[in-house]
A and B are shown apart, each in its own frame.
Chain A
């Protein structure tokens, strides 16, 4: 048991970029799940109580539905998502050769719509886009996050890290001030987590709906009274990429539930 864990840890360390000061070592990384109360955990754990599962079911229907002028369904190209999509979300955002930049899972879905289905893009935070990405990411539930491996991602990871460390907004706070230095403390009574992006898109009780990681990042930015980046902005993608690589090794939870 001990040696198994040591090996797992050693492999992770070998694969991961060297830790930078202030970052959370891999064996201390904790999902937001571990900061929640028993009721919210129970809601996430029970598929019949987890409201995110309704979106996953919708996504499953959309997966098989022919759309766009190509009259093709996702399933026509990718077959059974249970096999073809397993582990995919765990390595997103991923480098897109044609665009020469990383794209998020949401952006990949819209690229498939444009290029293969000849369908219009689904708006960010629309029910259909959330449902499809929840369905795809759900196929990775339990799979360890590996995003950020591709050497071509290096400059984008560095940009994301810089943004994470950058103080901003009228309150002049950086992500790292709360999520590296003060997790486990309380902001007006609310536990501050490590900001591990393991469960997205996820159901937030405060939102009363499913939401993307970008939505969450934009709330934290508005929280410090900074101008939030627009959905899909390269800065948000870079931050997402950095967060996913910072969560390397943690299992995916989609659809998670958070307070």
Chain B
């Protein structure tokens, strides 16, 4: 009965907090890799090499990465997906890698009121939890893996 909501109710309480598990916390408190915005894109890879779409897929599906809290997508094995944001299917049809990169790094550049977090940013934030202070949500390599995966979502 209540097992579905029960299971998920834990997400905001616990799921998000456990974010620094094996997958998601590559980033240390180091400086962010500098990047250059051109138009609505970051054309250059943050790591100077292409990401790995398979790792990107695993990251997007990992609850701790937080994407599927809000988004849904062509992920039949994931039972609970969010509906606060557009479905990710077809993302690769309409966004270039450079656009996706900027969208992940700092979605508020597209829409200052967006609820989508800026995944590669460590300043201008309020009361960040002790375990997360000064770190971006994702590392540069994780951003690249996710960009590589999203670019494969075509239909």
Contacts and interface: CB of A to CB of B under 8 A. Distances in A.
A170 B126 contact: no
Interface residues on A, range: 35 or more
Interface string A151-184: 0000000000000001111111100010001100
Contacts of A192: 84
A167 B112 CA distance: 13
Contacts of A205: 2, 6, 9
Q: Which of A173, A177, A188 has the largest number of chain B CB atoms within 10 A?
A: A188
A45 to B, nearest CB: 14
A170 B2 contact: no
A21 to B, nearest CB: 13
Interface residues of B, number: 39
The A interface is mostly helix, strand or loop, or mixed, namely loop
B13 A223 contact: yes
Nearest to B5: A259
A169 B1 CA distance: 33
B87 to A, nearest CB: 13
A185 interface: yes
Contacts of B118: 172
B83 interface: yes
Contacts of A168: 125-128
Given A169-B126, A187-B12, A177 B115 contact: yes
B69 A206 contact: no
A188 B9 contact: no
B17 interface: yes
B2 A224 contact: no
B33 interface: no
Interface stretch (A34-42, A57-65, A138-146): A34-42
A219 B81 CA distance: 20
Contacts of B82: 185-189
Contacts of A223: 11-13, 15-17
A84 interface: no
B5 A224 contact: no
Given A166-B126, A170-B125, A171-B137, A187 B17 contact: no
Contacts of A116: none
15 contacts: A36-B5, A39-B1, A40-B5, A168-B128, A169-B127, A169-B128, A177-B115, A188-B68, A188-B69, A188-B81, A190-B5, A190-B12, A223-B16, A225-B16, A259-B6
Given A190-B8, A226-B127, A259-B2, 17 more contacts: A37-B2, A168-B125, A170-B135, A172-B126, A181-B115, A182-B84, A185-B84, A186-B82, A187-B12, A187-B70, A188-B15, A188-B82, A191-B5, A219-B13, A226-B128, A227-B128, A228-B129
The 7 closest A-B pairs by CB, nearest first: A189-B80, A223-B12, A259-B5, A219-B13, A190-B8, A39-B1, A170-B132
Interface of B: 1-2, 4-6, 8-13, 15-17, 19, 63, 66, 68-70, 79-84, 115, 117-118, 125-132, 135, 137
